[in-house]
Amino acid sequence: MPRLFVTGTDTGVGKTRVATALCAAFIAAGKRVAAMKPIASGCMHTPDGLRNDDAEALRRAMNVRAGYAEVNPYAFLPAIAPHIAAMEAGRTIEFEVLDRCFERLSLQSDVTIVEGAGGWLAPIDAGRTFADLAAHWQLDVVLVVGLRLGCLNHALLTVESIERHGLRLAGWVGNSVDPHFERLPENLQALRTRIAAPCLGALPHSINSTDEAVKLLSANLRELEPLRHP
């Protein structure tokens, strides 16, 4: 069953919108779905501790029961690069901690969706990136392309790096983050021509519900099934 890593061409391109929509689409297809935001910065103080909006959205979207610390093992207060936030907090990101959470969630689910932070090569520590984490877990990748000026270069460089890490790009989603982006259809066509992986949907600019995203992604869930080798 699918084990997916949702990454983006940059920060703020709609990874959580796509990840939560994928959760809803798989649940509608009758699957047990777990989601994870391994490392999150930009958290808020709550009576229960630090909480991240994206991680909370994923937790609400999944249908597997899990505590917040399993969904988001590393939470940091400032909205800065996670590796800098960890350094300032005097904490070390340990893959062993992430492994335990990922394994528990995966054992309970048919589908596991992991959302990164920032872009594909956002650092985790002095030597590792989120790309290394995706490779460590051998996850298929869903790329969210923020549709705005510069997206072609950002998307193609990210696709190239995903391939260099030996991972399968299962599909990509165009998410309109700039309502005034000129030549949107032409840019989408350029991406479809240059990216071999399927386009799972082109989402309109929206600050509201994920209903449109769920509808579009539901039609393409088969593309996200793991490859079967003879």
- Exposure string (b/e) for 118-132, b if CB count within 10 Å is 16 or more? bbbebbbbeeebbbb
For 146, 160, 194, the CA distances from 154, given in Å and listed in that order, are 9, 10, 13
Look up 37 and say whether it is catalytic.
yes
Of 15, 31, 37, 215, catalytic: 37
- Transcribe 76-119 into DSSP letters: -SSSS-HHHHHHHHT----HHHHHHHHHHHHHT-SEEEEE-SSS
Look at the alpha carbons of 66, 107, 131, 125 in this order and tell me if their dihedral is positive or negative.
Answer: positive
CA distances from 46 to 8, 70, 82 (A): 28, 17, 20
Enumerate the active-site residues. 37
